[in-house]
Structure 1
Amino acid sequence: MDETAEQTPDTPSSTDEGEATQANEVVRGTAEHIGGRPPTYPPYPSTKPSVRDGDSLAALMPDTLVDGIISGRLTARGVSVRGDAHRWEGHCRQDAMAIARIGSPDTEMLLLAVADGVSSAKRSHVASHDLVHLTAGNLDKNAENLHKALVKQNESALNGLANKIVDQTVGELRAQWRAGAGPVYDDRDYATTLQVLLVPVQEDVRVRLLISVGDGGLHVCRDGVWTDDHTPSPARLLDPKTAALPGSYDSAEIRLVTSLPGDVLLLATDGMTGPLCQEHEFARRLAEYWGRKEAPAPSDFLWQAQLRAKSYDDDRTVVCLWETEATP
């Protein structure tokens, strides 16, 4: 018999015990909630659409999507989670997201995108899914021009490029959806919102571009405090007549955002921005989770993103971006 096989493990040291206790403390269970009572719906997936229903995308759409990237000093984490009401009622997740690299090495940017399918639109899950993918491709084709205009902070050029790309994407998607819709096609069946943040990876370029159609938006956490200067007001977030693609919008809105190392940028659908705008305790808790210098592990980010609040049971999609501060 191997002599080492007979040896018994050393008695754990106090350091080992402390590490074990610390490990036990970070075990994640049911998502936390704010307020005195938890929300009505259970906080886990229940039923889903069936493949036999004839909508394979709805039937196969994951309940939860987790993604992320590290690019130099930039770290992104993203989560898209089916809302408690959709889980209970057996509807698919209507939100979508994308985290991607676009552009050449000299003009590379991180693309963060979220789309929120309008609940009353029966094909909105198709729209949000298709929209983020095709928009990413069209932004990549124009990445060099976008990057050049961003460096110069040329808002006129950026506005023209953004609207050209969104209009082109809508036209391509309409043709695609019409081809698969049979004799009847209606824009209202495919209604969805879109929020895109373009972030140059070069450290000396501090400006970011936000492209928006509809609700949701961008928040910035600086020194543990959220600001929403770059996102619609709470009143607008609750407006059921929000702009939506492909047919219920006039133009895409753009905003230039200058962030500092140490800021945390949060891009999200209104399933997240709603409680963030209107529930102080919710905002405080997220600042505790995400207002630190380092990004959490993907599994922790997923658990934290599911912080619950009564009456907020919509799909929830959020992408956060951290930038490590330079070492002195």
Structure 2
Amino acid sequence: MRPAPASAPPPTGHRQGPHGRTTSGTGPADLTEPSAQDPPAARPAPGAAASPPPPPTASDLPPLPPPFLPAQPPQPLPAPGEDHPAPRDYVGSGPPTYDAEPTALPSADPDGLDGLVADTVLDGARYGTCTLRAVSARGDSARYRGDPRRDALLVARFGAGEQALILVAMATGARATAGAHRAAAEVCQWIGRAVGRSHARLAEDLRAARRGELKSGLHRLTDRSLGRLRAGAAEQGLAPEEYAATLRCLLLPADPGCRTRVFFGAGAGGLFRLRDGAWQDMEPGAGDVAGEPVVGFGSPPRARPGQAPDETPEGDRLTMDLGVTTPPGPSGGPPAGPPREPFRFRASVARPGDVLLLCTTGLAEPLLSEPELGEHLARRWSGRTPPGLAEFLADSRVRVKGYADDRTAAAVWEA
């Protein structure tokens, strides 16, 4: 990653993003490298013992992005001891089209019962300073039609004690394809095996804040897992887009002294942080360069009109090409098959009171489009102990008219 030219510091102006979100040119509190403009550290006098550098403080971190939700100023949070607002079935102008409860079951094969997918799965854990809640639930439209849940969820711990590493992986199979649920489940299992076999090294890199090693290593593991999915499509005689899935993951160290949280994956979805009662969009930017996946560090989640996909509003190029190109097609023509999703990576430092939310598009889209949903979840989840599994299920299932896809979400409360 090349630093911006040192001629003049970029302005800190804000811009208006999709769905009315306001974003800034600076990213969230990521594991960023020192700027070339930082003054050199004072050298000790000859013969004097070198003292260790002081630990970073909140003032050393880059500015935070402004909240994108709620659109209106949030209501005051409940005072200590005061009850939080009750769960709701839906938000918006009216009830959704479909019933809230399951209607039809997916068709079952008597010789393939191990391939059945439950309507809803719940999981959770508490390690170090964080409490995890995770859910994957079939969407209202799939419940009505009797389709299987296309989303898959994997929550796994590798290792023991403070050396353990927790992986949350979620995937969404391609829409309107027969094997969508199998593709999602397979890619979660493959990334789980890959991370599990490398968990000791990954946990060490997390504790040492080795951003470069984490980025390159996780990119390789993600490419291998998605590559196996494409190979599976070829074995079945299917086009790559007919047996495909998105993949979004969180890595959480069990060490209470390490507050680094790492997101990685490929494909659409959402990554949000609830801090001080307001939501922040943490989704890392990704370039739209044909054939060359790009990963952003500290770049805004979306480019403004007319802006290069790998530039901030101030013109800083904060993304880097990882050199993974798509092979050319026959006779040197354009690449065969659909373009591959770019790899996305975000390493951030958590603070007490934060809530980090990773989700598939089934929850990300209504959260971005319906301010009332963000306001409700902010009031439900801020300034309190983490909800139990049943409460978290109810909160994640608050419905919005016009959004009936599967919902998979994992939220991490920081103590």
Q: Structure 1 residues 169-178 or 248-257, which shifts more?
A: 169-178
Q: What is the CA–CA distance in structure 2 between the aligned matches of 1:247 and 1:157, rounded to whole Å?
A: 29
Which residue matches 1:202? 255
> Among 188, 191, 209, which residue is 1:153 paired with?
209
Rate the CA distance shift 1:90–1:64 in 2: closer, same or farther, 3 A. same
Q: What is the CA–CA distance in structure 1 between the aligned matches of 2:212 and 2:98, rounded to whole Å?
A: 46
Which residue matches 1:302? 393
> Among 207, 226, 241, which residue is 2:279 paired with?
226
Q: Which amino acid aligns with 2:103?
A: S
Spell out the pairing of 1:1-328 with structure 2 (5 A cutoff).
32-52=89-109, 56=113, 60-103=116-159, 105-175=161-231, 181=236, 184-230=237-283, 233=301, 248-249=339-340, 251-324=342-415
Contact 1:121 1:191 in 2 (8 A): no
TM-score for the superposition, normalised by structure 1: 0.79
- Deviations along 1:128-156, one digit per CA (max 9) or x if unpaired, are 11111221121011122222322333332
Contact 1:97 1:113 in 2 (8 A): yes
Q: What is the CA–CA distance in structure 2 between the aligned matches of 1:121 and 1:150, rounded to whole Å?
A: 37
- Deviations along 1:44-88, one digit per CA (max 9) or x if unpaired, are 111122214986466x21111111112243211111111111111
Q: Structure 1 residues 118-127 or 211-220, which shifts more?
A: 118-127
Q: What is the CA–CA distance in structure 2 between the aligned matches of 1:171 and 1:234, rounded to whole Å?
A: 27
Aligned length: 286
Contact 1:162 1:252 in 2 (8 A): no
Q: What is the CA–CA distance in structure 1 between the aligned matches of 2:341 and 2:368, rounded to whole Å?
A: 25
Which residue matches 1:243? none
Contact 1:159 1:253 in 2 (8 A): no
Q: Secondary structure at the match of 2:175?
A: coil
Q: What is the CA–CA distance in structure 2 between the aligned matches of 1:57 and 1:123, rounded to whole Å?
A: 14
Q: Which amino acid aligns with 1:47?
A: A
Contact 2:270 2:360 in 1 (8 A): yes
Q: What is the CA–CA distance in structure 1 between the aligned matches of 2:140 and 2:371, rounded to whole Å?
A: 21
Q: What is the CA–CA distance in structure 2 between the aligned matches of 1:299 and 1:43, rounded to whole Å?
A: 16
Q: What is the CA–CA distance in structure 1 between the aligned matches of 2:129 and 2:250, rounded to whole Å?
A: 17
Q: Which amino acid aligns with 1:299?
A: A
Offset of residue 164 of structure 1: 1.4
Q: What is the CA–CA distance in structure 2 between the aligned matches of 1:291 and 1:128, rounded to whole Å?
A: 32
What is the aligned-residue RMSD (CA, Å)?
2.8
Offset of residue 217 of structure 1: 2.6
Q: Which amino acid aligns with 1:73?
A: T
- Deviations along 1:185-223, one digit per CA (max 9) or x if unpaired, are 332122211111111121221221110201113111111
Q: Which amino acid aligns with 2:354?
A: D
TM-score for the superposition, normalised by structure 2: 0.63
Q: Which amino acid aligns with 1:218?
A: L
Percentage of identical aligned residues: 32
Rate the CA distance shift 1:249–1:152 in 2: closer, same or farther, 3 A. farther
| Gaps in structure 1 of 5+ consecutive residues | 1-24, 237-245
Rate the CA distance shift 1:54–1:119 in 2: closer, same or farther, 3 A. farther
Q: What is the CA–CA distance in structure 1 between the aligned matches of 2:196 and 2:98, rounded to whole Å?
A: 40
Q: Which one has the bigger helix percentage?
A: 1
Offset of residue 104 of structure 1: 5.0
